[in-house]
Chains A and B, each alone.
Chain A
Amino acid sequence: MANTVIGSSIVIDGEISGDEDLVIQGTVKGKISLKESLYVEGSGVVEADIETQNVEIAGRVTGNIVASDKVELKQDCRVVGDIKAPRILIADGASFKGNVDMDQKER
């Protein structure tokens, strides 16, 4: 078993925390805090504040994102919220609304 997959038919309302990779293809509302990587795939819908090391978003995310390493917004994703991370990548075709804070001072 590689890692945790929240499939497209699953809806979670609440809080997810953990120290392994998480793949979201379904719907998550609430709060996500991880020590590893989060992948929101094309079918994934997240309405949550996210705190993680890495996050890759190809689906829809509404909420504030704090990443200790990297945030990657893929093509066709839709993200609304503030992002705080040392490295932020936004691909051509991604739609994003919110503030970006790369916080160079703290590094």
Chain B
Amino acid sequence: MANTDQTNIIGKGITIRGSLTGGGGLVIEGRVEGQIALKNHLTIESSGIVEADIRADELTINGTASGNIDASTKVSINQSAKVNGDIKATRVVIEDGAVFNGSIEMEVKLPDDI
């Protein structure tokens, strides 16, 4: 049970206010307000509502998120998602139909001679 690859689920009927930290994957179907810091993959399902600053390795959003996002690899904002906030990530994908308001900062390595 001490497996860090396990997936954690915050179900539809659950609300968390405060900070959530840890390893392992996390799927949010309910509501989280505060802060999230995760070492692995975070998925916000279409029923999920997150009002939090998020730090994660990879982030997939199908639901609603407001807050600043800092992902070390990739952020995917899917069709049904509504996102407000600033995103900082190496790769950012926004699908057709997704709603996004905020700024995006991709860590692009510019050539030295520019």
Q: How large is the interface on B (under 10, 10 to 19, 20 to 34, 35 or more residues)?
A: 20 to 34
The CA of A1 and the CA of B15, in the complex, are separated in Å by 16
> Which chain B residue lies CB-closest to A23?
B9
> Which chain B residue lies CB-closest to A36?
B13
B114 at interface, CB cutoff 8 A: no
Q: Which residues of B contact A90 (CB under 8 A)?
A: none
B93 at interface, CB cutoff 8 A: no
Asked if B6 contacts A7 (CB within 8 A), the reply is yes
Q: Which residues of B contact A80 (CB under 8 A)?
A: none
CB distance from B88 to the nearest CB of A (A): 23
Q: How large is the interface on A (under 10, 10 to 19, 20 to 34, 35 or more residues)?
A: 20 to 34
Asked if B21 contacts A16 (CB within 8 A), the reply is no
Contact status of A20 and B2, CB under 8 A, knowing A6-B8, A7-B8, A13-B19: no
The CA of A13 and the CA of B20, in the complex, are separated in Å by 6
Hey, what's the 0/1 contact readout for A73-94 against B, CB within 8 Å counting as 1? 0000000000000000000000
Asked if B34 contacts A1 (CB within 8 A), the reply is no
The CA of A36 and the CA of B7, in the complex, are separated in Å by 22
A19 at interface, CB cutoff 8 A: yes
A104 at interface, CB cutoff 8 A: no
Asked if B9 contacts A4 (CB within 8 A), the reply is yes
Asked if B19 contacts A12 (CB within 8 A), the reply is yes
Q: Which B28-60 residues have a C-beta within 8 angstroms of A?
A: 29-30, 34, 39
30 chain-A/chain-B pairs, Cβ below 8 angstroms: A1-B9, A1-B29, A3-B9, A4-B10, A4-B13, A4-B30, A5-B8, A6-B10, A7-B7, A8-B24, A9-B2, A9-B8, A9-B39, A11-B21, A12-B16, A12-B19, A13-B18, A13-B21, A14-B17, A15-B15, A16-B15, A18-B11, A18-B13, A18-B30, A19-B13, A20-B14, A22-B11, A26-B22, A36-B13, A43-B1
Other 8 A-B pairs with CB < 8 A, given A4-B14, A15-B15, A16-B17: A4-B13, A6-B10, A9-B6, A9-B8, A12-B21, A18-B13, A18-B14, A22-B11
Give B residues with C-beta under 8 Å from A.
1-4, 6-24, 26-27, 29-30, 34, 39
